C-alpha cells in the first residue's frame, strides 16, 4: 500500500477514533472493581520500582502477565497518575486495531472505501468503544491478536512480504502471550492452521521464515515467564496457569453466563448499533464462503472467528470481553456485505436499514423508563428529555436517508448515536461516580479523619479503596463468595474473624455496602460505638470504636 493513497482515510479514522475512544476519558473516576485493579497494579509497580513484577496490596500478583502493566506504568510516568492516563492505553490500542482492520480490508478487497467501512464498523461497535474506554487487558490483547493475524494474511497474499509478515505474526503473537497468556498464540495459530488446511496449502508454513519467527516468539514471550517461575516457583504457576487458566475451564466464575448461546449472543448484541447488519451479514457470508469464486479472506475470517470460539466456548468461565478478538473479523465481513449491497443498490439493505431504525426507537423509550426507575443516577430529567428528542430526530433522519436510498448518509447519522450516549454519560458523571467508584468515599475519609491503620471494606470496594487511599485494607464478606483469585489482604468471612479484627484495631474506619454494614451492626456490642459518617452512593463510610 502506498501511504499517500491511504492517508486521507486513515486520518479520518484517527480523528473519529479520538472522539469515540479518547474524548472525555478524564471525566469518570476509575471504576470498581477492575479498572482500579489494573491501574492499582501499575501504580504499585511504580512504588516498588518494578518493571517486571506486578504488585497489588504490596505483594506480587499474577492474575495477568506483565505487558499491560508496563504500558500503564509508562502512561502514568508520561501523563501523570490520573484517569486519562490509565484509559489512554486501551484507547490508543483501540485506534491501532481500527487501522489494522482498515489494512486487512484493503488487503482483502483492494478497495479503500470498503476498507474504510471495515475500520468504521469496528470503531463504532458498542463493546469495542466500551473496552477502548475502560482499563482492562482485553483491548491490548485483542489488538495484538489482530496485528498478528493481519501480518500473516499480508504474508499470504503478498508473497514478496512473506518473510517480514511471518516474523511479525510471531512477534505480535508473542506480545499477546505477554498480555494475557498462551491463549493469545493459540488463537492465532489455530486460525492459521485451519485456514491453510482448508485451502490445502499447509506447505506455506514449511519454510525457514517460520523457524525464524518461532525463534522471535521464544525470545519475546518466554523470558518473563521463565523469570517468574525461577523467582516465585509454584506461587506463580499455581495462580497463573492453574487458577487463571485451567480452573476457568472447569469452573464458572459467573454461573449465569455459562450457556451455549452466551458468546454468539454477545458477539451480535455487543456490535450495536450494527447488530442487525451483523446477523444478515453472517447469513450471507456463509453463501459467499462456499461459492466457487470465494476470496481467500472469507475462509480466513471464518477460521478467525472459529478459533476464538474453539478457545473460549468450552470454558465454563465466560465473560463478555472474552469474545473481543472476534470483533475485527466480524466487522470486516459485515463491511463487505454492506458495501457490496450499497454499490449494487440491493433492496434488502434498504429494508434492513428501515427495520434497524425502528428497533433503535427502543432507545428513547428506554431512556424515559430509566429516568424514572434509576433517577438517582440522573442529573436532571430535562437532560433525559433533551436526549430523547435528539435521538428521535436522528432516527427520523435515518429513516429518511434509508427511504431515499442514501445509505452513506444513513451510516453517518448512525455513527452519531454512540458519541451522543457517551456525552450523556459524561454529563451525568457526578451522579454516576458515587455508584461506580470509591474515589469520593475514599477522599472524604482521608480529608476528614486521621486513618493510621487498616480500612475495613466490602469485597467489591477493596481494590478501589486501596487505590485511592494507599492504605492497607481488609475485607469483610461474611458468608459471601470469596475472590476467584485470592487477594493478599486479611479476609473475614466469619463473625469471629470480624470481631477479632475489630478488637485488635480498637478504632476502625470502614467503607461498606449496606449488607456489610448490617453485619457490623449485628456484631458490634452495645458498649462499643458504630457511627455512619457519610453515605456516598452505595458506599457507607463508617467509624467503629471498640470499648
pLDDT tens for the chain, residues 1 to 547: 455 578 999 999 999 999 999 999 999 999 999 999 999 999 999 999 999 999 999 999 999 999 999 999 999 999 999 999 999 999 999 999 999 999 999 999 999 999 999 999 999 999 999 999 999 999 999 999 999 999 999 999 998 999 999 999 999 999 999 999 999 999 999 999 999 999 999 999 999 999 999 999 999 999 999 999 999 999 999 999 998 888 888 887 788 888 989 999 999 999 999 999 999 999 888 888 887 778 899 999 999 999 999 999 999 989 999 999 999 999 999 999 999 998 887 788 899 999 999 999 888 888 888 777 777 778 777 888 888 899 999 999 999 999 988 999 999 999 999 999 898 888 888 889 999 999 999 999 999 999 999 999 999 999 999 999 999 999 999 988 888 888 899 999 999 999 999 999 889 999 999 999 999 999 988 888 999 999 999 999 999 998 8
**Structural domains in the chain (count):** 3
Q: Which of 343, 377, 400 is the last residue of a domain?
A: 343
For residue 1, the model assigns a pLDDT of 47
* Gap between the Cα atoms of 502 and 456, Å rounded: 9
| Cis amide leading into 84 (omega within 30) | no
For residue 298, the model assigns a pLDDT of 94
Same domain, 265 and 407: no
C-alpha cell, 409: 448518509
Same domain, 261 and 302: yes
* Gap between the Cα atoms of 379 and 132, Å rounded: 25
Task: Give me the residues paired with residue 542 across strands.
Answer: 510, 532
Same domain, 155 and 260: yes
Same domain, 352 and 338: no
Q: Quick one: CA dihedral 49, 50, 55, 58, positive or negative?
A: negative
Instruction: Please give the residue range of the domain that contains residue 325.
Output: 3-343
Give how far Cα 166 sits from Cα of 99, 105, 205, 297, 322, Å.
19, 19, 9, 17, 25
Same domain, 493 and 423: no
Same domain, 355 and 319: no
* Gap between the Cα atoms of 535 and 514, Å rounded: 10
Same domain, 400 and 320: no
- b/e per residue, 333-347, with b = 16+ CB within 10 A? bbbbbbbbbbeeeee
Has this prediction a pTM greater than 0.85?
Answer: yes
Beta pairing, strands 455-458 & 507-512: parallel
Task: Give me the residues paired with residue 512 across strands.
Answer: 540
Same domain, 144 and 218: yes
Per the listing, cell 449485628 goes with 522
C-alpha cell, 428: 451525568
Same domain, 451 and 519: yes
CB 274 within 8 A of CB 121: yes
Same domain, 378 and 276: no
Phi, psi dihedrals of residue 233, rounded to the nearest 5°: 55, -130
Phi, psi dihedrals of residue 379, rounded to the nearest 5°: -65, -45
Task: Give Cα 340 distance to the centre of its chain.
Answer: 31
Q: Which of 457, 513, 464, 461 is nearest to 490 (CA)?
A: 457
DSSP state of 29: P
Phi, psi dihedrals of residue 254, rounded to the nearest 5°: -130, 95
| Secondary structure of residue 491 in the 3-state scheme | strand
Amino acid at each position: 500500500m502506498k501511504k499517500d493513497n491511504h492517508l486521507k482515510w486513515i486520518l479520518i479514522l484517527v480523528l473519529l477514533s479520538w472522539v469515540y475512544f479518547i474524548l472525555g476519558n478524564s471525566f469518570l473516576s476509575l471504576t470498581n472493581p477492575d479498572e482500579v485493579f489494573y491501574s492499582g497494579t501499575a501504580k504499585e509497580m511504580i512504588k516498588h520500582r518494578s518493571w517486571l513484577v506486578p504488585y497489588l496490596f504490596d505483594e506480587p500478583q499474577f492474575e495477568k502477565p506483565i505487558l499491560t502493566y508496563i504500558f500503564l506504568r509508562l502512561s502514568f510516568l508520561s501523563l501523570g497518575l490520573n484517569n486519562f492516563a490509565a484509559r489512554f492505553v486501551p484507547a490508543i490500542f483501540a485506534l491501532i486495531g481500527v487501522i489494522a482492520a482498515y489494512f486487512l480490508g484493503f488487503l482483502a478487497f483492494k478497495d479503500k472505501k470498503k476498507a474504510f467501512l471495515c475500520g468504521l464498523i469496528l470503531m463504532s461497535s458498542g463493546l469495542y468503544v466500551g473496552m477502548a474506554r475502560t482499563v482492562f487487558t482485553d483491548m491490548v490483547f485483542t489488538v495484538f491478536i489482530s496485528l498478528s493475524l493481519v501480518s500473516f494474511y499480508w504474508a499470504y497474499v503478498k508473497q514478496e512480504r512473506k518473510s517480514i509478515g511471518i516474523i511479525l505474526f510471531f512477534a505480535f503473537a508473542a506480545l499477546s502471550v505477554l498480555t494475557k497468556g498462551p491463549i493469545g498464540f493459540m488463537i492465532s495459530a489455530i486460525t492459521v492452521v485451519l485456514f491453510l488446511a482448508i485451502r490445502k496449502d499447509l506447505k506455506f508454513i514449511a519454510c525457514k521464515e517460520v523457524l525464524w519467527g518461532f525463534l522471535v516468539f521464544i525470545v519475546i514471550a518466554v523470558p518473563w515467564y521463565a523469570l517468574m517461575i525461577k523467582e516465585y516457583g509454584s506461587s506463580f504457576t499455581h495462580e497463573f496457569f492453574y487458577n487463571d487458566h485451567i480452573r476457568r475451564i472447569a469452573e464458572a466464575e459467573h454461573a449465569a453466563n455459562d450457556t451455549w448461546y452466551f458468546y454468539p449472543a454477545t458477539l451480535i448484541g455487543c456490535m450495536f448499533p450494527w447488530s442487525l447488519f451483523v446477523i444478515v451479514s453472517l447469513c450471507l457470508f456463509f453463501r459467499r464462503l462456499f461459492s466457487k469464486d470465494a476470496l481467500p479472506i472469507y475462509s480466513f475470517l471464518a477460521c478467525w472467528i472459529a478459533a476464538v470460539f474453539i478457545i473460549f466456548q468450552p470454558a465454563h468461565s465466560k465473560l463478555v470481553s472474552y469474545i473481543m478478538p472476534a470483533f475485527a473479523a466480524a466487522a470486516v465481513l459485515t463491511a463487505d456485505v454492506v458495501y457490496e449491497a450499497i454499490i449494487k443498490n440491493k433492496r434488502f439493505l434498504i429494508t434492513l436499514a428501515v427495520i434497524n431504525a425502528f428497533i433503535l426507537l427502543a432507545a428513547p423509550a428506554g431512556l424515559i423508563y430509566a429516568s424514572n426507575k434509576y433517577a438517582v443516577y440522573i442529573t436532571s430529567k430535562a437532560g433525559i428529555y433533551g436526549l430523547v428528542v435528539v435521538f428521535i430526530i436522528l432516527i427520523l433522519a435515518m429513516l429518511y436517508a434509508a427511504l431515499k436510498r442514501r445509505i452513506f448518509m444513513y451510516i453517518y447519522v448512525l455513527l452519531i448515536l454512540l458519541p451522543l450516549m457517551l456525552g450523556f454519560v459524561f454529563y451525568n458523571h457526578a451522579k454516576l461516580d458515587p455508584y461506580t467508584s470509591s474515589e469520593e468515599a475514599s477522599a472524604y475519609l482521608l480529608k476528614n479523619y486521621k486513618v493510621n491503620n487498616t480500612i475495613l471494606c466490602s469485597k467489591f470496594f477493596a481494590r478501589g479503596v486501596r487505590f485511592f487511599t494507599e492504605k492497607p485494607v481488609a475485607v469483610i464478606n461474611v458468608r459471601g463468595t470469596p475472590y476467584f483469585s485470592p487477594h493478599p489482604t486479611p479476609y473475614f468471612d466469619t463473625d469471629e474473624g470480624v470481631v477479632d479484627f475489630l478488637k485488635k484495631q480498637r478504632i476502625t474506619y470502614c467503607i461498606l455496602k449496606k449488607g456489610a454494614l448490617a453485619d457490623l451492626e449485628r456484631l458490634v456490642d452495645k458498649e462499643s460505638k458504630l457511627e455512619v459518617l457519610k453515605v456516598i452512593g452505595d458506599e457507607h463510610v463508617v467509624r467503629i470504636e471498640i470499648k
